[in-house]
Amino acid sequence: MAKSLSNASAHTKPDSVSALDRTVLYLTVSLTGASVMVLELLGTRLIGPFYGVSIYVWSSLISVTMIALALGYWLGGMIADRIPGLRLSYLIASAAVATLLIPILIRPVLLLTDPMGLRAGAFFSALLLFTVPLTLLAMTGPYVIKLAARQLANVGALSGSVYAVSTLGSVIGTIALGFYLLPMTGARAVLYGLSALLGLLASTLVLYERRGLGGNVATLCVAVIVFACFGGGALAYEHHRPQPWGKGLTLLYESESVYGWVRVIDDQAQKVRFMMSDASTISAADLDNVRSGLLSYQWVTQRLPVFRPAARSALLIGLGGGHIAAGLERQGVKTDAIEIDPAVAYAASRYFHYHPSGDLLIGDARYQIRRLNKTYDFIIHDCFTGGSEPAHLMSIETLRELKAHLNSGGILAINFVGFAEGERRMPAQLVYRTLGEVFEHRRVYVSEPDSEFNDFIFFAADEPINVHPEAASARTLDLLAKRRFFGMTEGERIVTDDFNPLESLQVSKAEMYRKVLLERVGMDVLLR
């Protein structure tokens, strides 16, 4: 390219860049800018199913991206000054190869970093997988500026243009990935496609750099065909790629939606069908009766009519397999549901035989709640997923919005995973205190009475929450009494949209949840 630029200068002004040079260079920085954002965003889809999609995974990926960009800018500028023989096409080709290696290295890297724990494991997984390709892509910016600059007089304008075009490419890459590529293909297929695209760009740059040395259109056509075949083969492989799981596990359904990696898996050994979203089991059922859930906190939630026998309507936020809704509907409680992930809603209907008696709304809970024009006797808040809960749905502002949609005497039920003892119970105490700021009465149940690590099921209402013995069997009353928790105390602060420390306080919970998950379903189902 250095040769082409020098040749072009003979026919252009000394301080200008030819139209062809400008087009090629801007195309390069726009595609590399898009590639940087695609890799950063894909990181959550590759690491999240193993470590959970949490603030720690996002922080790790953003930090690694910033490290790689800083290193790439420095190296790119230094190499452009000191090693002029290193062509731009070499950098792009190397980035293509490094990107191609990511899906190959995912499994061994995750297994290598697993002993490091949640935070260190997420960071070093991102560091090992993404530093090299991101650094190579970042090197192109200063390298392009060096190649295109004629005189010091136009370096400022040229630099601004290069980084502006690169940023615009990043925007386009972000939108293309989130709106189209991920829902249509999946993370690994996008990586293969990105590698092929970078390879094609490198081939184009080789021809451009060697315009006077025998490069021709035929060579470019061959490169296009090779990379098209490679990309098509990679997509075909992804659609038929066998899962490296142990015997007795059967994958029934898999979808990589914009919200998570959703799978429905049959475990023949345990006779259980479960649904997973990233690194969380969000539903489980006996293979002989998939309509009935096996998760014990769901059993407690389905007993809500024992406290309000006259109740006839409910809203479930977080559908899962639909077992809570089905249990309430069998008791005559018509149940609407809000589910953010259409893949989860489909799996609940197709593989757990969920058939809504009320409305099924697909979308973010807070957005859908603001649009509701109904009130309910019960609202069940069950949004725990991926090893973490969406903390913005636990704030006092959200609770007030939910209260506005409760009938007089209605009950809000919240499922919250945490610890019952010691300093680690602080998150549960914060939620309990926040509920007390909105409702007059509270009651707490747990899914496992003898376990420190538990699902807490918080009931909150403006009227006393009492059991109606005539509405339940003696066995139900006995089980409810055993699961009632009396040890919950007030937290020191409340959770608000402005002050919301839940996720940072839930590190121990996330690590314990992941440990329990691995014991129950095994590590293989978290690996791609």
Average pLDDT value for residue range 54-59: 83
- What residue type is assigned to position 318 of the chain? G
Q: Tens digits of per-residue pLDDT, 98-121? A: 998 998 899 899 989 988 888 899
pLDDT at 2 over 50: no
Contact 383, 393 (CB under 8 A): yes
27-31, 318-322, 391-395, 409-413: which range is least confident on average? 391-395
Extract the tokens encoding 378: 């019960």
Return the higher-pLDDT residue of 454 and 54.
454
Q: Look at strands 360-362 and 272-277 and give their pairing.
A: unpaired
Contact 493, 499 (CB under 8 A): yes
What pLDDT is attached to residue 113? Answer: 92
Widest pairwise Cα distance in the chain: 96
- Which residues is 443 bridged to in the sheet? 459
When pLDDT is cut at 50, 70 and 90, the band that residue 515 belongs to is confident
Extract the tokens encoding 477: 């009353």
pLDDT at 20 over 50: yes
Return the higher-pLDDT residue of 5 and 326.
326
Residue 281, SS3 per DSSP: strand
Contact 483, 446 (CB under 8 A): yes
- What residue type is assigned to position 310 of the chain? A
Extract the tokens encoding 510: 């996330």
What pLDDT is attached to residue 180? Answer: 79
Q: Scanning the structure block, which residue is given the tokens 């790119």?
A: 76
When pLDDT is cut at 50, 70 and 90, the band that residue 259 belongs to is confident
What pLDDT is attached to residue 11? Answer: 41
CA distances 168 to 36, 63, 340, 352, Å, are: 12, 21, 29, 44
Q: Which of 285, 248, 280 is nearest to 261 (CA)?
A: 280
Return the higher-pLDDT residue of 21 and 266.
266
What pLDDT is attached to residue 5? Answer: 45
Residue 477, SS3 per DSSP: helix
What pLDDT is attached to residue 214? Answer: 46
Return the higher-pLDDT residue of 55 and 313.
313
- For residue 489, give every residue at least 6 positions away whose Cβ sits within 8 Å of its Cβ, in sequence order, or none: 429, 432
Residue 210 is classified by DSSP as: T
Containing 138, the helix (H) or strand (E) segment is: helix 118-138
Query: Domain boundaries in the chain?
Result: 2-240, 292-526
Is 292-526 CATH 3.40.50.150?
yes
**DSSP of 29-84:** HHHHHHHHHHHHHHHHHHHHHHH-SSHHHHHHHHHHHHHHHHHHHHHHHHHHHH-T
Return the higher-pLDDT residue of 163 and 247.
163
Q: Tens digits of per-residue pLDDT, 63-79? A: 999 999 999 999 988 88
pLDDT at 330 over 80: yes
5-19, 37-51, 256-270, 343-357: which range is least confident on average? 5-19
pLDDT at 26 over 50: yes
- What residue type is assigned to position 347 of the chain? A
Using a pLDDT cut of 70, give the percent of the chain over it.
86
Q: Which of 308, 327, 294, 315 is nearest to 358 (CA)?
A: 315
What pLDDT is attached to residue 223? Answer: 60
Phi-psi map region of 465: left, alpha, beta (phi>0 left; psi -120 to 50 alpha): beta
**Residues 47, 107: Cα–Cα separation, whole Å:** 10
Average pLDDT value for residue range 474-490: 94
**Residues 47, 50: Cα–Cα separation, whole Å:** 6
What pLDDT is attached to residue 184? Answer: 75
What pLDDT is attached to residue 361? Answer: 94
Which homologous superfamily is 2-240 in?
MFS general substrate transporter like domains (1.20.1250.20)
What pLDDT is attached to residue 506? Answer: 78
38-42, 292-296, 349-353: which range is least confident on average? 292-296
pLDDT at 209 over 80: no
Using a pLDDT cut of 90, give the percent of the chain over it.
43
What pLDDT is attached to residue 385? Answer: 63
pLDDT at 517 over 60: yes
Q: Which of 415, 487, 505, 424 is nearest to 455 (CA)?
A: 415
The overall average pLDDT reported for the chain is 85
Q: Tens digits of per-residue pLDDT, 264-281? A: 999 888 899 999 888 888
What pLDDT is attached to residue 36? Answer: 94
Q: Scanning the structure block, which residue is given the tokens 């409910």?
A: 314
Reported in sequence order, the residue ranges of 301-452 that DSSP labels E, i.e. its strands, are: 313-317, 334-339, 360-362, 376-381, 406-419, 441-446
* Strand arrangement, sheet containing 360-362: 360-362, 334-339, 313-317, 376-381, 406-419, 453-461, 441-446
When pLDDT is cut at 50, 70 and 90, the band that residue 242 belongs to is low
Average pLDDT value for residue range 441-468: 94
Length of the chain: 528
User: Is 130 buried (19+), middle (13-18) or exposed (0-12) by CB count in 10 A?
Assistant: buried
Q: Tens digits of per-residue pLDDT, 362-409? A: 998 888 998 999 999 999 999 876 556 677 889 999 999 999 999 999
Q: Which of 413, 474, 409, 410 is nearest to 447 (CA)?
A: 413
